[in-house]
Amino acid sequence: MSSNLDSRQQQMVGIFWLVDGRLIVDDSPLSEAVPYGDCLTHRTGHIDFWTEQQRLGTVPRDVEYEEHPRGRVVYNAKAQRFYLLVDRCIHKDPATVVRVMKAMQLVASQTDVTTDGPDGHYKCAGCLAASSDHHDDEWD
């Protein structure tokens, strides 16, 4: 059996976007993840992968990486749980969450799904605009 097939049987860490209904994923098996604090994460960041995909024509060349809904899967070794950090646009669509979990070989009982992450990092342009609109309404 090839190592590629072996790695697809493992749970994955990685980054992803939802671009016009298409799931764009860059992942690696947990056995190849790199340490980041208490977590294990994918070696490639959103901006680097997006830039490469723009060069290849896989994603729009005139759109920045943070404009589409995106997320990341990390593994917290201390808690022994996967964290699926997603944009609210992804979180509100259970079918898309399931698609991401399937792509990453995740098991629901071992995975916590959360929006934004601790720093609110995963917000697409639409969510940022909605937050801004909501914020403005609070001041009216």
Per residue of the chain (140 residues), what is the pLDDT tens digit?
333 434 447 899 999 999 999 999 999 999 999 999 999 999 999 999 999 999 999 999 999 998 999 999 999 999 999 999 998 888 899 999 999 999 999 999 999 998 855 556 677 767 666 665 444 433 33
80: alpha, beta or left? (left if phi > 0; alpha if psi -120 to 50): left
Question: Degrees (nearest 5) of the Cα angle 95, 131, 22?
Answer: 30
pLDDT score, position 123: 72
Residues in contact with 31: Cβ distance below 8 Å, sequence separation at least 6, in sequence order:
7, 10
Specify the pLDDT at position 88: 86
Element (DSSP H or E) covering residue 86: strand 81-86
Lookup: tokens for 43? 């070696």
Q: What pLDDT score does 137 carry? A: 38
Per-residue pLDDT at 119: 52
* Tokens of residue 109, six digits: 């009982």
Number of domains the chain contains: 1
Query: Domain of 32?
Result: 3-139
**pTM of the entire predicted model:** 0.82
